[in-house]
């Protein structure tokens, strides 16, 4: 493990908290039905009310997929998810298999979390 990992995680959490307090204003352009938008600068876009961002690493780095309008249907992720920012108004359940089956973890609305110890999740639904 890199020694800078915990510092980057703390920075990511602090950045997310600051963005939540300031209120992100950028609009997203994808829904769970239409698929994700892969983004480089996740700050304000991932903290906009109604959006869900999923991350490839537990440090909120690597590939980032942005979704708007997450619904109750099963969505297969474009990569294994190890962290999320759920700015929707509903809990989102993440699953270990690509068809919303297997072990799961549910993240509440308005929350961000990572779960390296659980392994990557491959699908989700609201």
Q: Which domains does the chain have, with CATH numbers?
A: 5-125 (2.60.20.10)
SS3 letters across 68-114: ECCCCCCEEEEEEECEEEECCCCCEEEECCCCCCCCEEEECCCEEEE
**Dihedral sign from CA coordinates of 14, 60, 48, 110:** negative
What's the distance, Cα to Cα, between the start and end of the chain in Å? 33
In 3-state terms, what secondary structure has residue 59? coil
Say how far apart CA 48 and CA 102 lie, in whole Å: 30
Q: Give the pLDDT score at 34.
A: 56
- Identify the burial level of 82 via C-beta atoms within 10 angstroms of its C-beta, where 0-12 means exposed, 13-18 middle and 19 or more buried: buried
User: pTM of the predicted model, to two decimals?
Assistant: 0.72
Sites in the chain below the pLDDT cut of 70: 1-35, 41
């Amino acid at each position: 493990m890199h020694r800078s990992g915990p510092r980057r995680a703390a920075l990511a959490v602090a950045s997310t908290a600051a963005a939540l307090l300031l209120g992100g204003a950028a609009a997203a352009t994808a829904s769970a039905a239409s698929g994700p938008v892969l983004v480089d600068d996740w700050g304000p876009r991932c903290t906009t009310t109604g959006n869900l961002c999923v991350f490839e690493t537990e440090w909120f780095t690597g590939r980032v997929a942005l979704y708007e309008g997450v619904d109750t249907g099963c969505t297969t992720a474009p990569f294994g998810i190890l962290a999320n920012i759920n700015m929707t108004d509903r809990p989102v359940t993440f699953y270990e298999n690509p068809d919303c089956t297997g072990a799961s973890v549910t993240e509440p609305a308005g929350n961000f979390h990572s779960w390296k110890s659980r392994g990557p999740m491959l699908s989700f639904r609201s």
